[in-house]
Each structure stands twice: as C-alpha cells, then as structure tokens.
Chain A
Amino acid sequence: MRRWGLCFVPVLLLALFLTAGAAPAQQTLNAYSIWPENWARPMFTEFEKATGIKVNFIRFSSGEALARIIAEKNNPRVDVLFGGPVETHIAGIKEDVFEPYKPPAFAELAPRFRDSQAYWVGIADDPLVFMSNNKFLKEKGLTPPTSWNDLLNPAYKGMIQMADARTSGTAVTRIFSIIEVNGRDENKAFDYMKKLRQNVQVYTKSGGGGTIPVGLAQAGAGIFFIVDVLKTRQEGYDVAISFPKEGIGTSVEAIALLKGAKNAAVGKKLIDWAASPAMQNFYASYKINFIPAHPKVKTEASLAEIIKGAKIFPIDEEWAGQNRKRIVDRWIKEVLP
C-alpha cells in the first residue's frame, strides 16, 4: 500500500500547483524590464503611488527578454517591455510582437525618440563613453583616451574589455559609432576594429560586463554606456570618464506595448506616464544616470557637467536597423576570431 501512496504524492501536488498561478483581483500590470531592478523598482513604486496600479515585473537582459517575448508570442505573459536599447525593440517589430501606441507625449518628443509607426517610444538617452582605470593609466604614464586612435596604443595590449555584438546592444551601438566616425566607410571601420582587436582582452556578454574588471584594474579601459560607468564610479571604483574627439554614438532607451497584451489599457497608462516628464523627473532623485528623452525634463547637473562639450551623435536607427544583421555577421566573421 505504501507504494501506492507514494505514487499519489506527485499527482496531488501537481493538482495543487496547477491552481497556484491565478492572478489577484486588483488592478495590476505585468512587465519585463531591461533596466536593472534597482532602477526599475523605484520607477514602478512611483507609478503605483501616482496611479494606484501595481506593476509586477521581472528583469532580463535585452536578448533574454526578447527571446521570451518571441517564445510567448501566442499567449503573452506580460503587457509592456520596459527599457532597453531601442535596437531590441526594432528587432521585435520584425517578429511582430508589439502593438503600436501613441502616448500623449508622442508629439512633443524629438523624432529620434519615437518610432514612425509608434511601435516604441523613447524614455531616455544613453551615450557611450570611454572608461579607464586611473591606477592603470598612471602606471603606464597615459592620460584618459580622447580619440578612438588612442585605444590602438600598444600600451593597452590585452587590457581593453568591451561587449560582444552577439549579445549586447552596447556593442552594436559601439560598432555603428565606429562606422559613423569613419564616414560610413565600412571597410575603413572594420580595419580599425581589427586593429583594436589586438588590444581587446575579452568581449563580454553584457554591455556593462567589463566595468567591474576595469574598476578592479583587471582591465585598463573599455567602451560602455554612461549609466554603467557612473554606477561603477558610485560603487567606489577609481575610474576616469572620457569622450573621443571624433564623436561617439548614443542609443535611445525605449518602451513598447505587447501585441495581445491582457492588460493593454493599464499598459498604455504606464507608457503614458513613462514617456512624460512625470516619470523622467525622477531620474535625478533616484540617481539614474540616463539623459531624459522628454525635452521639458532637465538633465541632472553633475551628469550634464560630464557630457558638456562631448561630441555625441545619435545612431541613425533606420539605417542601423536595415544593416544590423549584415554588420554584426561581418563583425563575428572578421573581428571576433
């Protein structure tokens, strides 16, 4: 008899848990956030304070979030994809996973912060920067790099970390920056990247993956988004921030509504709120070092000081979207090995 009892245990437990996923009755919204939790959570708490709508969310890297959304396409589990470099959202449009929506702030945004068909809306701007370890610079007798060519200096051999274009939006933005500063002469840009490869220690999976190694002087320098760099500095690591004189790209952080979202109405409310100054005014108070997308929101003073005078240009998202796959493939074949 005892053996029969054992067989029933799993069956009972399964039955018990089949009912466990039921949603509570209050007004809630589900989201995948590409922003790290310590930035997304305060935003969603403020949203709940303002509207009474609770946001359940979980954080994924951009690639993981999109892979999930595509896999869940026929039965979406969340309503909104929150944050993340816009190239993720552009890749999603091709997979037909988003629903166009124009929030009230749509018309006020600069064209580069909104999709022409309203599949996504920009909520922040995030430029790339050079970050180097001060101890490393001092030991090698260097100053922080101020030109793309400075990074080719043999003193950096095996000491630069940056992101892998197969997984990271940071890397894709970097590659398009390099193509742009070379006047869209792709061959010239790839020649530069192949030279730079000599100095690269490792290409990391996530965009910010190299920041701690640079902070620890395991690597000397790297190219990262400014939010990751300032976070590293806030953690206490002694790093220098600099910009190349030829210019460097910046990427839009976006938000999008999912096609077939079960709570589409509340999802739209979150998008309304996120695209407006209502949310973006909180960036400064929570020390989130993004540059606000909405023209009426002022950039926090110390962040404005850092980017003052830097030559930052937007990536032409339309051109980038059309050429992304080809260029990443070429990068994998020619630069990575």
Chain B
Amino acid sequence: MPDATAVAALNPSDRLRRMLRDPLLLSILIILWALLFLFIAYPLVSLLVRTFTDEGKLSLAGVLSILGDPVQRQALWNSLLLGGLVGLCGTVLGFLFAFTAVRTNLSKGWVLFLDAAIILPLISPPFTTAIAMIFSFGPRGLITYDLLGISGFSIYGLHSTLFSETITFFPIAYLTLKAILSGIDPTVEDMAFSLGSSRWRVFRTVTLPLTVPGIANAFLLLFAASLADFATPLILAGNSFPILPTQAYLQITGLFDLKGGAVLSFVLLVPAFAVFLLQRFWVGRKYYVTITGKVGARTEIKSVPPWMRCVLLVVCLLISASILYFYALLFYASIVKAFGADFTITWRHYHVVFSEGLQAIRDTLIIAGIGMPLGGIYSVVVGYLVCKKEFISRQTMEIVSMINYSLPGTIVGIAYLLVFNDPPIMLTGTAIIIIACYVFRYGPTGIRTTVAILQQIDPSIEEASFSLGASSGTTFRRVTLPLILPAFFAGLGVVFIRSMTAISATIFLISINWTLITVRILEKMTELELGVAAAFSILVVLIVFIVIGAISLFLRLFRQPGAPDMANILGG
C-alpha cells in the first residue's frame, strides 16, 4: 500500500471500497471508534448538554455571566500568558539540554546523569516542586532567607508559577527534541561543513530548521501541559494571578457550581485547539525524512567548538543540580520528624506509608500495570492509523483522540463521574474508569510520538517491502512495527508515569474500592503531615525510576539498530 499522501487524491467512494476490502483495518476502526466515542465524545457531549441547557432548554445565561466577569477574563489571559511563557522557556531549556546531550560528544556517564536529573520532575507526584519551592523561596525559605538574607520575598505569583512549571515540564521538550536531534544524521551537517559553512551557519541553516517540527511539537506539548495543570498554580499562583484551570476547580469544588466550572473549562478548549490546529496544519506540512535506510557510517560530530561545549555543560549541570537539590530537600523532609521544627531523624513516616498506605500502593500499581500495555497499544494503533492509513474519518479521529489531553483534568474527571454513574454504563467505583481516564488522557503523548517517528521514516522502506511481495500485514510486522516499537514504549511509559503521578482528573474517579497514591499525598498534605506526604512522593519517584529503568534496559536489549532508546522518547 502506498503512503497516505499519495492516496489523498482518491475520491470518497474509492476510499470506502478500499476500507471494505481490508477487513482487519475496518474491524480495528470500529473498535477504536467505539472506544473513542465511549470514553471521549460521550462524556464530553453529555457535559456540554448539561452546561448549555437549563431544564431542557438551550440557555446561555450561565455562560454569558461567566464570560462577562472581568476576573474570569483576566484568568483566561493569564492562562494564555503562562502557557505561552512556559512553552517558550521550557522549549529553550529543553533544546539547550538536548543539544548538549546529543551534539557535544558527551560521554555516556554524563548523558545518563543529565537524563536522570531531568527525568525527576517528569515522574514526580503533583505539588512536589511547588512545596520544595515554598521551602526554599518563601519568606523564610532556605535560599531566600537563610542563604541570601532577603526577608519578605513574595513567592506567590506569575514568576514562581512559571519557574515551577518550567522545571516540571521542560523534560517533555528535552525528550522530544533529543529524539529529533539524535535522529539527524551528522553527515548532513558534514556536507555543509565541507562546503565551507561556519558552525553558526550550519546550526542556523541546517540543524535548527531540521528540528523545527520538534520545537513546535515541544511548544505545543508544554503549552497544553501548562493549560491543563492546576496543582502548581493552586499552591503558587497566589490570589493576584488567577488562572482558568484553578478557577474552574474552585468553581466546582468551592462554589458547588458545576456549570460554571464546565463553562470555564470549555473556554480553555479554544486556545488548546488553536495551538493543536496550528501544529497540525502548519508544522505538520514540513515533512522531514532522516531515517532513510541508507545510513552510512556515523561520523564524529563537529558542530560545537570546545569552549561552547564547556559553557553548555556548565549551564546544564547548574540546572540539573538545582533539580537534584529540590529532591534532596524532599527526601530530607521525609526522614525528619517535622520539617522546620524538629529535625530529629526518623523512619516514622515510611512506617505510615507501608502500613496504612499499603492499599493505595497496591491499587495504584494494579491500575498502572493494566493501564500501561493498553496505553502503549492504543497510542501505536491510533498513531499508525492516522499517519499511514487512508480511511474515512481519519482527521476526525486524530482530533478526537487529542481532546481529553487538552482538557483540564478536573473537567474530564467530572464528566466521567457524571456519565458513568448512571445507567446504561455504570463504571464509577471500578478500576476501569480510572484506567480508561489514564489511557485516553495520556495516550495522545504516545500517539504524537508514533506520528513523529513515522514521519521520519522514509516511505521507500515500506515500498521496498511491498515490491518484494510482502503483504500489508507482513510489512507492518517486519518493517514498521520494529521501527515504532519505541513509540509503543513511550505510550506505555507515559501512561505508567501518569498513573503514578496525576491527580486532577482522578481525584473525582477514585472510590472506596480503588484509591491512588497521589490522592493520599494530597490527603496527607491537608492533614498537615508533610513528612508522610514527602515519604509517599519519594516512594513514587523510586517505583517509577525502577520501572522506567527496566523498560529502558529491555528496550536496549531488543531494539533494532538505529531506533532511538527509551529515555529519548518518553516525553515526546
């Protein structure tokens, strides 16, 4: 079968005939659409109906009163500003790290250290950076007060929210860009060098343009992550910098105003979708093939002078060190009696974790364990279909699959709770509802990775397989599948990490039968037992580190030569 772009010109009836001739594709499509409808469209539409009707009649009064409120308009503007800034800073930081890791001939040990430090924020439960920030930069913070002697430093507002979110989310940009940068064959740069270009010119005219899709992708992911994040602003934004996800959460849980909360969340859909469409139709058109199947021997990278290498390395090390500092602080808080008051070392908090916390640990691991393979399969199948197959509803599928990712978690959680509590489909109180939430909310990360990897694969590799007489199935299994295996693990890894760390949606989905570690962390924080909360967070970080390490090792053992490894793709 030729590449998707080649068949785009087919008219609908031909496409339909083609679909009917491929029963495998057709049945997968039917299953997928059923699932997408059930877990994305149905909850969202039900919530929309509830939001925009009043006793069976269409009513816009609620919507207009929310939109007319200057505080909410300010919140929208603030959200966009924050998202844009986080996207910008995070992408710059991510590019810096990725470039250093890939283009400066670092030894394996250094790359491993950078990877390990950077991955920490990505695998941390909510609130951890925010809390470490308050410990360090509050009016009596370890850094602001004890070290620098500044008293009365104001920690609440745009600056610290931006800092905390950038630190939390830039690993996504790093991992996305690292995959792209390491995919660029240095021989491409060599060609420019041999034609007499300077290093700067090569960077500007060869390396940078080749990474533009990655940069745009990273920006989109960061912007969306910031738009959907409510935990960090809840703690750090203070009262003079309201943002929409937090406002929506407060509207629902504080004022018991489900409609108002839903309206605020739907407002968020607009910017999230605008960026998505921009990425889809602007960046998506720039099509770069770097895995050509004709790769020669890799040559040494010459694009960075030695002094530049030192500068880059020092900057990266400083940032990594500050991340490690946050986690050292967290660990310290978990082993002292009461941080800030009684610094006696104690294992008491871990004792609590492994006694009353056991049910949460067990439940979380079961849910993450089941969600993992499902998330991997879901992201690869959808990614492959929307990128490589031509079928009716292809674009709709791509857009629908992104919806739960771009919506704030609170609204997804509430929507699930509302529709799956009543007949015909009663899922509240089960593990399925939590697993489904994770798969359909975090699967899109894997889908995007699949698409990004597939776009880098030259169609001629698949064409070669066809012309040698292999069927569509064989080609997929023998050629495409090994190439997109990393994407499968990306989808799987992200769903696992999120199952261990996400809170905004699932706080509404946990039940008496199934609870989660992250909810316990929030609970312990409201119970004012910071030590136990810190101990739980450390446990989460350890579990995720071990599992991701195991997957990464497994992937390294079995991957095809030339395929990017686990750490490279987790974030993308």
Contact = CB atoms under 8 A, between A and B. Distances in A.
A309 interface: no
Interface stretch (B98-106, B318-326, B385-393, B507-515): B507-515
A231 B524 CA distance: 13
A236 B341 contact: yes
Interface in B126-150: 134-135, 138-141
A206 interface: yes
B299 interface: no
B12 interface: no
A215 interface: yes
Interface in A56-112: 56-59, 61, 63-64, 66-68, 70-72, 74-75, 77-78, 91, 95
B473 interface: yes
Contacts of B251: 166
A206 B526 contact: yes
Given A213-B134, A236-B341, A75 B422 contact: yes
Interface stretch (A8-16, A283-291, A312-320): A8-16
B429 A21 contact: yes
A213 B138 contact: yes
Interface stretch (B112-120, B174-182, B252-260, B445-453): B252-260
Contacts of A63: 252-254, 256
A109 to B, nearest CB: 27
Interface string B22-36: 001001100100010
Contact of B139 (A57, A66, A158): A158
A205 B527 CA distance: 13
Contact of A205 (B28, B135, B234): B234
B152 interface: yes
A77 B418 CA distance: 12
Nearest to B137: A218
A79 B96 CA distance: 55
B374 A166 contact: no
A9 B435 CA distance: 14
A167 B253 contact: yes
Contacts of A212: 340, 528, 530
Given A58-B512, A61-B253, A67-B252, A215 B341 contact: yes
A304 B566 CA distance: 61
A74 B377 contact: no
Contact of A236 (B337, B356, B508): B337
Given A17-B430, A216-B340, A228-B528, A159 B421 contact: no
Contacts of B252: 63, 67
B421 A74 contact: yes
A36 interface: yes
Given A63-B256, A77-B511, A208 B370 contact: no
A37 B134 CA distance: 25
B141 A218 contact: yes
A235 interface: yes
A332 B71 contact: yes
Contacts of B154: 158, 201
A71 B253 contact: no
Interface string A216-252: 1111000000001001100111100000000000000
Nearest to A32: B512
Contacts of B370: 13, 17
A59 B134 CA distance: 26
B55 interface: no
Contact of B253 (A67, A228, A328): A67
29 contacts: A3-B473, A7-B27, A7-B31, A17-B432, A20-B430, A20-B431, A21-B429, A36-B523, A37-B527, A38-B529, A67-B256, A71-B421, A71-B508, A158-B154, A168-B254, A201-B154, A201-B156, A208-B526, A212-B340, A212-B528, A215-B341, A216-B138, A216-B340, A216-B341, A231-B527, A235-B338, A235-B528, A236-B337, A238-B341
Given A2-B477, A17-B430, A213-B138, 19 more contacts: A4-B24, A20-B431, A21-B430, A30-B512, A64-B253, A72-B421, A77-B421, A77-B511, A95-B256, A166-B251, A206-B526, A211-B528, A213-B134, A216-B138, A218-B134, A232-B528, A332-B71, A337-B71, A337-B240
